[in-house]
Chains A and B, each alone.
Chain A
Amino acid sequence: MVKLLKKLVFKLYVICLMLFTVWYGHFMYPLIFGFEGKEEAGESLKEIIRTGSEEETMFSRLIAEQTETSQTDLGYRVIDESYIEGRFHHIGFTLQHDNTNVCIRCHGSVPHDGSKETRSFLNQHAFYLACETCHSRPRAGAETWTFNWYDKVTGKITGNPRALVEIEEMFTHEHETEQYPTYGNYGVKIAPTQNDSGIRKLLHGEKEMALAERYIAEQELLEPDQKTAMKEVLHRKVSKDHPQCRECHNQEDRYLPFEKLGYPPTRLRELVNVPVVNMIQKYQKFHFPTLLESDEIEK
């Protein structure tokens, strides 16, 4: 019996060595003959980009582009950040995309492109507010919503972000630390939630995402009128009556309960006194003062 077992172990050992020999040959192949295959793949993609119309070229380029990061080594500190082509200023952080929100699945994470005055500000809000926070409203008589933070990666409801409090502490010790408070990149977003059989769930949760995924997967097989009907169903929670700036950015009776969401006093003061809101609402065009500008600056 021991002899048989020894023989078996020996055979297994030999088989492992044979497999290793084959793997080693495979592993060494690109090291000897280079990585031509990858270069060819890159070339064929460039060929597609070269040959289309302007729109096709632009579309292919956008598909080919991948989210890149860059690293700047200052010796005493390494800065990891998202690489944005053509940008001069360092952003100093990595953009964290929300892959769990159902609206973003089709509309993307930078969806506002209407009014020139407001589009960038609205996209800024999309950085830390789920779409349904503004684009859905509770129906009359229905249960009032609670607003909670959810994780951009897992889609799960989380507690208030600790970063908000840390920024407040930074304000308190501002002169000691010489750090600048920067808001908005907490890895979480605010979304309306509802009570579902004693469990708090996102208004647009897993069920809605499953419907959207199913629509995306099957849309090629659908008749045009079916598509319209399904879009109608998918958008049934969307309200045209979205909140105006003042509904949140005011001293009292705010649509979003900033205190409950964990905003500390300094940030709260900023949120309720937003000069940009005044500017957008009062002026069609706002000229910056040139009183203090030197006339001597030459081109």
Chain B
Amino acid sequence: MREYRLFNSILVITAFVLVGAVFSVAEADTEVNCLICHKHRGLSRIDEQGKFRLYYINNEMFESGPHRRNKCHDCHSDKDRFPHDPTVKVDCTQQCHIVEPSGQAKFSHKPIADTLSKSVHGKFDADGNPKKYQEDYPGCKDCHDQPLYRPVSVYKGETKDGVSKRSIGRCRSCHRTGYFAEDFYDHVTSRLRRGRFPMETINVCAKCHQNQEFLKRHELDDAVTTYKETFHGKLIALGSERTADCLDCHVVEGENTHLIESKLVPTSATNKANIGNTCRNSDCHVNASAELSSFQVHVTYERDKYPMQFYMLIFFKALMAIILYFFLALIFFELLRRLFPKFSFIKEKKTSDDTDFEPLSDDADK
């Protein structure tokens, strides 16, 4: 059987070498050249659930992220024939061919999955029992699309977006083989800042934390809408990258971002005992007093849950409306009087001494 497979493989490889000779070097990176088919932009179908499935792979995008050192088969290990069998979900915890340099072990995302399982997003509680609504708890793809590098360059004290050709040049003077220098540079400098622009992070969290049905099921407040009403939320909406987003407050400084814990857990970044330190972390309000963290960030104004906040909101809305519409009405009627200066509901009898009412018009000013 093994010999038959070997013979078959040689035949197929020969066929591919002959017919695929025109393809570029970049496309030959994949072991069976998946891009022969998957480079076509419109390669697609509507699946049985009515979902649009696009099978196109943008190689340029693929080469712009840390997965570029992987081969297709590292993740899509079930794809061994054409037409493909029904797809098996990619298991991000499986080992790939890349050796992790610090421990010299084959790379896997399993440690991340283990961290996630200990967090509030894990599918099991502290006693190992499955939580309610299992399908609501996120897997890798619920939060992550294909990661892309966000490199930065530093030159003479100035930090800029993108790759520094000077730095790459310095690296390549020693590390000349392949794309080692570029890979290393992209990877390390992308880690010097967040992997995503803050608004993208918020949109990821919003998939669940702004979904009203999800919030009802888990008895949660609408954390995203309420966040967007804060100063932080508004600054990020205006394009700031230096303002706190969800992860800055919900992850303990220096911890893995996958370890988000409930505020009831003593080690959580948002636990009452720790929230002050979270605000005072080295990148934010370093000298802030404890009062800074005493305000309620995610206020939803539900009457049953937060009656005080609800009635306060009603009061301020009413106050604002009364003041605004009172003065608007005043201005409106004042203008109306200027339009019809002699108008009156009360008709008075004219006497010979009566003079006409002097109108408040520009003529009158003269």
Contact = CB atoms under 8 A, between A and B. Distances in A.
A184 interface: yes
Contact of A18 (B59, B317, B339): B339
A32 B317 contact: yes
B77 A291 contact: no
A73 B339 CA distance: 54
B157 interface: no
- Interface size of A as a range: 35 or more
Contacts of B31: 289, 292-293
Nearest to A59: B50
A74 B147 CA distance: 10
Contacts of B150: 74-75
Contacts of A286: 12, 81-82
Nearest to B31: A292
Interface string A62-75: 10000000011111
Tell which of A110, A123, A126 has the most Cβ of chain B within 10 Å.
A123
A21 B339 CA distance: 15
Interface string A152-179: 0000000000000000000100100001
A87 B54 contact: yes
B345 to A, nearest CB: 19
A51 interface: no
A275 B80 contact: no
Given A288-B32, A299-B91, A91 B56 contact: yes
B42 A184 contact: yes
Contacts of B356: none
Interface in A273-299: 273, 275-276, 278-279, 283, 285-294, 296-299
A177 B145 CA distance: 26
Interface stretch (B33-41, B116-124, B347-355): B33-41
A95 B58 CA distance: 13
24 contacts: A15-B339, A18-B332, A21-B328, A21-B335, A32-B324, A42-B212, A58-B50, A74-B161, A75-B151, A76-B151, A84-B54, A93-B58, A123-B42, A123-B45, A124-B40, A124-B43, A180-B60, A182-B39, A182-B59, A182-B60, A270-B22, A286-B12, A287-B81, A289-B9
Interface of A: 3, 6-7, 10-11, 14-15, 17-18, 21-22, 24-25, 28, 32-33, 42-43, 46, 50, 58-59, 61-62, 71-77, 79, 84-93, 95, 108, 110, 112-113, 116-117, 119-121, 123-128, 171, 174, 179-185, 269-270, 273, 275-276, 278-279, 283, 285-294, 296-299
Listed from nearest, the 6 A-B pairs whose CB atoms lie closest are A127-B42, A75-B161, A76-B162, A291-B9, A289-B9, A73-B197
